[in-house]
Structure 1
Amino acid sequence: MAPLPYRPLVAATLALLFSTPLAQAKSVPKVVTAPPSPMVDLGYAVYEGTTLAAGVNQFLGIRFAEPPTGGLRWRAPRDPGRESGVKQSAKQFGPICPGVPESSLPIDQPQSEDCLFMNVFAPSDATETSKLPVWVFIQGGGYATNANPNYNGTEVVTQSGHGLVTVNFNYRVGLFGFLASEKVRADGDLNVGLLDQRKALEWVQKYIHLFGGDPNHVVIHGASAGAGSVAYHLTAYGGRDDGLFIGAAPESPFFPTSRTVEESEFQYDRLLSDTGCADAESPLTCLRTLDFSSLQKASVLLPLREGLGKPKHYFLPVVDGDFSQDHMYTQFAEGRFIKVPLLVGGDTNEGDTFIMNPNATTQEMANSFIHNNWPNLSEEDIEALSAAHPPHPRDLHEPYWGQGSDIYGNMTFACGGLLMSAAASKYVGADKSWNYRYNVKEPYNVAQGKGATHTSETPAIWGVGMAGNSSTSLGTYNAPMVPVIMNYYISFVKTLNPNTLKSRHAPVFEGFGTGDGERMLLEMPLKKTGMEPVLDAQVKTCKMIIGLAAKTEQ
């Protein structure tokens, strides 16, 4: 498949779219020691979970697909086989999927190719007839790692009045999840990391009632690449609605380059060369017979073109003409997505986490970072981006560091999120689209000269200590923000509206509306939290960025 043609409709449509009481979370859930332990029979296995003191049944490490190893590498996930034995323990998290070791997102978790496991948190008194709303979380990690594994849903279940079920899971990443070639298509499947997610959503439809959940009331939520994955499921198969969810909440949606299969052949060829499989009678069979460590050694970041530096992201979802039929900006601008209510979030300083050179002192250094990640941009394009994001001083950093952060943050996260909100306002309804900007700064980020960084609201959504980060001001002086954002999310999951069950201290969350759009500013002290317009300057900048989508392939 050749590079997709430029569609002026994308930029034009964007212009049209924009013109139109919580208890303190505990760091470790307490286990009830008294038997019996909760049990669930899935047909292929009987799992024994744990009942927590909070009145939550916790099932960890449930297998939802066959191990994607050996001959099943780069194939769509398959239903799990029957487990031997009377019952399986669901008391420990399963290993996460291996990714790119060189990624800037180090994960201190056991890893294995046999990684397709999920976790379920449900009220301990729920039954098969409870029909509780289901909150499915898709973790992020730039499609390079499982960066948000093993979040604990106990706190949100508790704070919902034991009125919902939460689910999270692993999926294949890096070369294991996103190796693309016509050779792979001919004897396997493309975008298998996204297909793993789809399999998990289908599993929820089939089995979640056994935990008390309602398969007809599922809301999907994701962070970063997980939010980008939410966008992929909204646009999957051209926006075909398979009844897998009725609402979506992308938190800092990740809109990276999405190459065609033809454009991705160089990665496949490099992998064959690096693993010694290039001269094999069947190179793909050779890759499938390699031991895990040999493949993992070849899972590295490499320049996208000769003469360039390394990009931030290398193995990514591709436009395959089936699951992913077009670039993301185009599909949302043209209304080719499932029409469900959307709650979209972002952070003020999305790009701060990703700038590779903290000491960029010249325009050339800043431009080089942009060119490494989007090699199809011309010098004129990069100059226009630089002019729209002038250098400016930031604490502990040179002015060009701030410029690079602003460009990367807008191109990769902020503009995609605003487009999703604007598209939902137009195609779903102005009262069914909400957007927020999170602007609460953490002291450890401030100490590094950073602001409100990418997905920094996550500990507030799940509860302090439930989302892998206990060292947060949200457990101390910024604690009043926790019930505000957590209950917006709980309310959205339960009622498809963030206002219905909002915290009594929270302002009314108005819809994105028409025109340039309005969003909720989440800031401390709480008196600063309230609705704000999307600034004209950002709207103008995003129009320019989306106008470059044919070159950036977003």
Structure 2
Amino acid sequence: MWKAAVCLVFGQQVLASSAVPVVSLEGYGSFQGLSVNTSLTNDTLPAAVDAWLGIDYAVQPVGERRFRPVQDRPAAFNGTRAASSWGKVCVQDPSTMPYEQDEACLSFNVFRTAGVSLDEKLPTLVWIHGGGFVAGSARSPDGASFVASSQHPIAAVTFNYRINSLGFLPSTLFEKEGLLNLGLLDQRFLLEFLQDHLASFGGDPDQITLGGRSAGGHSTGIHYFHNYGNDTGKPLFARVILQSGSVTARAFPNATFPQYQSDFKRFMVALNCSTNATNTAALRCLRSAPIDTIQAISAKMYADGAPTIAWPFQPTLGGPLLERPGSVSGIEGTFFRVPAITSHVNNEGKYYTPGDLETNDDFLNFMLTTSPDMNMTDIAIMNELYPDPVAHSDSPYSSSPNSTQYNRLSEAWSDYAYICPSRETAYRVSKADVPIWRLHFNTPDTPLEYVSWRGIPHASDTRYTWASQQVPFELTGQIYHAYLASFVATGDPNTLRLDGTPEWPQYDGSKGAEAEQLLVNPGNFTVVERDSYRRAQCDFWNDEERAVRLHK
């Protein structure tokens, strides 16, 4: 009979026990896990799961390793270490992240169905957290809840990667020194680490589903559409899930983009680093700057850019893993031929877009800030596709709340950044005869009367993904999660779907508006629908010449 000790790990109750196997990672060391029986929101899980928390996957990027690609795995050690507490999260705005932060943040967590021998290698979800490339942590998603709610034994991996200025600092200096897209390289490093060590946790490295939402979905799309160069024919995953994310979700310009240059100058000045120094001297200054100062200026720069979505600290075209635009990879077919799920929510843009714009000039200035390479023809067409409610009383946006331009701008941004990129991904993948399923999520994360004017905004599907008990429509979460867990377990979202729910048809882009997708409504009202909405708008944003010109 084993003894147990109940403890709290950053708000998550766990049950530590010798019943959870010790895992031995060759060339690294041994780790004792623990049993988790509650979710991150302290709900009792359907079943306890085995877990190993806070394990480093790289030598930490601190000191002289700051602003460098990770290259080395952690040193080997003797004995057994406890893997029973979360690692520190990566440096970001402390006002939006309550957990302890540190530059030494590159750790991962494994959650696995309990009672299954480690010799049985389970299909594994590896999830890249979102947060606009400036925020977030491995606590999203709730890996324990995702695993515990699955009808089939599976595993899940969550992890931290460098974000904000420490992970994404676009500049010509970093381009010359090979230091762009460090956060993407962290993600890649973790995937390579798992190829060697996932089996020790009882996971199957040949059955990895790479997934993510928002920036995590964009990241997943970047890896998915990188079947060229040294990666050709060598995927580190067997399938992908892209929730509100895509390689073409927004413009990713190169390091010469004017905003990136001005952002970098502002960053350097704030750190008292000379903008006229040699590359060596500039990097020495950046690597010796106080981390608190880096944290503060990074948070301030992001906050200043948020109202216009002119975000700093983003993946950069021409850097590692994004050497060519995602739209070009789609056109040329340089993506991995592995099955995929792509999804969007009903009113994506209402999460971001400001509610105080009143004129057509306000609308155009916002869109041009988002995508400054639009020309006069683009603007004229956009004005037709999204008619100004001030000038046209019959505009579909004439009843906009908050301001005259809110619904118009929200819909244009939704199409530009999420809905049309999702359709583009589905079209390109299905055209290559690769199985892909598309989903339209139409269920609120809060009671609609609370913020009814926001509809179903970006990230509304977050907690439904792991069948959280905290959502307004628990049955919807069970339905949605079952499709996703089935895809992770079998490569098909239908195999283990809940009884009584519709078969989710594969997307066939050749059918145009007759292509079928899943519509997730509140309660037990999930149905199959035709992908017939926003066709003209998506034809505009997904036009091949325009997409390349806009750096999508």
Q: Deviations over 1:390-430 (max 9, x none)?
A: 3415674334101111011111111111111111111133x
Matched, 1:426 2:410: no
1:134 corresponds to which residue? 124
Matched, 1:405 2:401: no
Contact map agreement 2:125 2:211 (CA 8 A) in 1? yes
Contact map agreement 1:224 1:252 (CA 8 A) in 2? yes
How far 1:525 moved relative to its partner?
A: 4.1
How far 1:531 moved relative to its partner?
A: 1.4
1:62 corresponds to which residue? 55
1:49 corresponds to which residue? 33
2:253 corresponds to which residue? 259
2:271 is matched by which residue type in structure 1?
T
Q: Once structures 1 and 2 are overlaid, which stretch shifts more, 387-396 or 207-216?
A: 387-396
Query: d(CA) in 2 for partners of 1:393 and 1:84?
Result: 65
Instruction: Look up the SS of the partner of 2:225 in the other structure.
Output: helix
Query: d(CA) in 1 for partners of 2:400 and 2:538?
Result: 26
Output aligned runs, 1:461-540, within 5 Å. Answer: 461-464=465-468, 470=470, 472-473=471-472, 478-513=473-508, 514-516=510-512, 517-527=515-525, 529-535=526-532, 538-540=534-536
Contact map agreement 2:192 2:236 (CA 8 A) in 1? yes
1:439 corresponds to which residue? 442
Contact map agreement 1:361 1:399 (CA 8 A) in 2? yes
How far 1:69 moved relative to its partner?
A: 1.5
How far 1:75 moved relative to its partner?
A: 1.6
* Percent of residue pairs bearing the same amino acid type: 26
1:96 corresponds to which residue? 89
Q: 2:379 aligns with which of 374, 379, 382?
A: 382
Contact map agreement 1:280 1:286 (CA 8 A) in 2? no
Q: 2:183 aligns with which of 174, 190, 193?
A: 193
1:428 is matched by which residue type in structure 2?
D
How far 1:270 moved relative to its partner?
A: 3.2
Matched, 1:268 2:268: no
Give the 3 Å change call, closer, same or farther, for CA 186–399 of structure 1 in structure 2: closer
Query: d(CA) in 1 for partners of 2:120 and 2:307?
Result: 54
**Highest relative contact order (Cα 8 Å, sep 6+), 1 or 2?**
1
Query: d(CA) in 1 for partners of 2:299 and 2:151?
Result: 45
2:292 is matched by which residue type in structure 1?
S
More strand per residue? 2
Matched, 1:455 2:459: yes
2:86 is matched by which residue type in structure 1?
F
1:152 is matched by which residue type in structure 2?
D
Give the 3 Å change call, closer, same or farther, for CA 259–99 of structure 1 in structure 2: farther
Q: Once structures 1 and 2 are overlaid, which stretch shifts more, 150-159 or 219-228?
A: 150-159
Matched, 1:542 2:528: no
1:363 corresponds to which residue? 360
Contact map agreement 1:301 1:314 (CA 8 A) in 2? no
Contact map agreement 1:222 1:229 (CA 8 A) in 2? yes
Query: d(CA) in 2 for partners of 1:268 and 1:509?
Result: 46
How far 1:321 moved relative to its partner?
A: 5.8
Q: 1:349 aligns with which of 323, 347, 350?
A: 347
Instruction: Look up the SS of the partner of 2:217 in the other structure.
Output: helix
Output aligned runs, 1:18-97, within 5 Å. Answer: 31-32=14-15, 34-42=17-25, 43-53=27-37, 54-82=47-75, 86-97=79-90
Give the 3 Å change call, closer, same or farther, for CA 352–446 of structure 1 in structure 2: farther
Contact map agreement 2:137 2:160 (CA 8 A) in 1? no
Gaps of at least 5 residues in structure 1 are: 1-27
Equivalent residue pairs, number = 509
2:215 is matched by which residue type in structure 1?
A
Contact map agreement 1:219 1:493 (CA 8 A) in 2? yes
How far 1:181 moved relative to its partner?
A: 3.2
Query: d(CA) in 2 for partners of 1:33 and 1:285?
Result: 44
Contact map agreement 1:184 1:284 (CA 8 A) in 2? no
How far 1:447 moved relative to its partner?
A: 2.3
Instruction: Look up the SS of the partner of 1:244 in the other structure.
Output: coil
Give the 3 Å change call, closer, same or farther, for CA 207–318 of structure 1 in structure 2: same
Query: d(CA) in 2 for partners of 1:185 and 1:367?
Result: 31
Contact map agreement 1:301 1:313 (CA 8 A) in 2? no
Q: Deviations over 1:104-144 (max 9, x none)?
A: xx232222111111110012333342011111111111111
Query: d(CA) in 1 for partners of 2:35 and 2:537?
Result: 50
2:41 corresponds to which residue? none
> What's the TM-score once normalised by structure 2's chain length?
0.86
Q: Deviations over 1:468-521 (max 9, x none)?
A: xx3x30xxxx22212211110011111111111111121010111132122111
1:14 corresponds to which residue? none
How far 1:34 moved relative to its partner?
A: 4.9
Contact map agreement 2:138 2:159 (CA 8 A) in 1? no
Contact map agreement 1:237 1:324 (CA 8 A) in 2? no
Q: Once structures 1 and 2 are overlaid, which stretch shifts more, 291-300 or 433-442?
A: 291-300
Contact map agreement 1:225 1:253 (CA 8 A) in 2? yes
1:416 is matched by which residue type in structure 2?
P
Give the 3 Å change call, closer, same or farther, for CA 330–101 of structure 1 in structure 2: farther
Contact map agreement 1:76 1:189 (CA 8 A) in 2? yes
Q: 1:165 aligns with which of 155, 160, 165?
A: 155
Output aligned runs, 1:110-125, within 5 Å. Answer: 110-125=100-115
Query: d(CA) in 2 for partners of 1:394 and 1:149?
Result: 39
Instruction: Look up the SS of the partner of 1:236 in the other structure.
Output: coil
How far 1:248 moved relative to its partner?
A: 0.6
1:294 is matched by which residue type in structure 2?
T
Query: d(CA) in 2 for partners of 1:386 and 1:217?
Result: 46
2:339 is matched by which residue type in structure 1?
P
Give the 3 Å change call, closer, same or farther, for CA 379–413 of structure 1 in structure 2: same
Q: Deviations over 1:252-304 (max 9, x none)?
A: 1151221113334443333223322115451111101111012223315659x
1:9 corresponds to which residue? none
Q: Deviations over 1:334-360 (max 9, x none)?
A: 2111111111111010001001x2132
2:393 corresponds to which residue? none
Q: Once structures 1 and 2 are overlaid, which stretch shifts more, 235-244 or 245-254?
A: 235-244
Alignment RMSD, CA only? 2.7
Query: d(CA) in 2 for partners of 1:503 and 1:340?
Result: 24
Query: d(CA) in 1 for partners of 2:399 and 2:54?
Result: 43
Q: Deviations over 1:140-173 (max 9, x none)?
A: 1111112663533223323334511100111111
> What's the TM-score once normalised by structure 1's chain length?
0.85
How far 1:83 moved relative to its partner?
A: 6.1
1:41 is matched by which residue type in structure 2?
S
